Amino acid sequence: MDILPDFSGPQNASETDAVILAAGDFPTHPIPLGLLARAAEGRIICCDGAADRLLREGFTPLAVVGDGDSISPEARRRLSDCLHIESEQDTNDLSKAVRYAVSQGMRRLTILGATGRREDHTLGNISLLADYQARGLDVEMWTDYGVFTPATGCQTFASRAGQQFSVFCLDDAPLTLRDVRWPLEGRRITRWWQATLNEALTDTFRVETRGRIIVFRTYITL
């Protein structure tokens, strides 16, 4: 088992405009924790359900966004200067935080804490990456196990030999995978599991599709 400390995807983490912390499991893996620490100086936007934990961990957010129901009176007092209440119910707190970031001119976003706890929230949050990309944002979601990246068209992904990855297709469009353990050539993927648990052979792999996909790369190599 080998953690990838110099993991570099299409988005280089040091160039992110903001880290958005959602209210799922707070990160415990060194990679997402490192991304959070590097954003500590005024680049953390926090969903209100994650605000108390963020404060307990010693961070101060640039902004806290949400309906304000999930924050303690103590945290609310400490964060009153940066609390942005949005009570409309058509979007979830993650999307409200993304919208706030965009309103501040930010478009390169690193999402943390968006998986774990209720699985329907996890699924919803992962799929929202495709919507954010369609709006022109450069966005990735880093969990305790790997990184989710939305994509479409032809794209090269950074990898390491032996690194595991999965591809999830959101549309019924053929998928091609090259330079991987189990290549695909124009294959229709109609089940979420059908393009999972593949493996990179070298320092990049290629993905081609006309549809929307979400690629997950693990931190761990064999």
Q: Which residues bind its own copies (CB under 8 A)?
A: 92, 115-128, 130-131, 143, 145-146, 148, 166, 168, 170-172, 190-193, 196-197, 216, 218
Sign of CA dihedral 175, 214, 108, 6: negative
* Identity of the residue, 55 or 214, whose beta carbon is nearer to its own copies in the bound complex: 214
3-state SS of the chain?
CECCCCCCCCCCHHHCCEEEECCCCCCCCHHHHHHHHHCCCCCEEEEHHHHHHHHHCCCCCCEEEECCCCCCHHHHHHCHHHEEECCCCCCCHHHHHHHHHHHCCCCEEEEECCCCCCHHHHHHHHHHHHHHHHCCCEEEEECCCEEEEEEEEEEEEECCCCCEEEEEECCCCCEEEECECCCEEEECCCCHHHHCCEEECCCEEEEEEEEEEEEEEECCEC
Residue 143 CB, nearest approach to its own copies (Å): 6
Residue 17 CB, nearest approach to its own copies (Å): 23
* Identity of the residue, 59 or 86, whose beta carbon is nearer to its own copies in the bound complex: 86
Residue 113 CB, nearest approach to its own copies (Å): 13
* Identity of the residue, 29 or 178, whose beta carbon is nearer to its own copies in the bound complex: 29
Residue 80 CB, nearest approach to its own copies (Å): 27
* Identity of the residue, 66 or 146, whose beta carbon is nearer to its own copies in the bound complex: 146
Residue 146 CB, nearest approach to its own copies (Å): 7
Residue 207 CB, nearest approach to its own copies (Å): 15
* Identity of the residue, 17 or 93, whose beta carbon is nearer to its own copies in the bound complex: 93
* Identity of the residue, 62 or 151, whose beta carbon is nearer to its own copies in the bound complex: 151
The count of other CB atoms within 10 Å of the CB of residue 195 is 22
Separation between Cα atoms, residue 184 and residue 3, nearest integer Å: 27
Residue 92 CB, nearest approach to its own copies (Å): 7
CA distances from 5 to 13, 30, 115, 192, 215 (A): 12, 9, 21, 29, 19
* Identity of the residue, 24 or 61, whose beta carbon is nearer to its own copies in the bound complex: 24
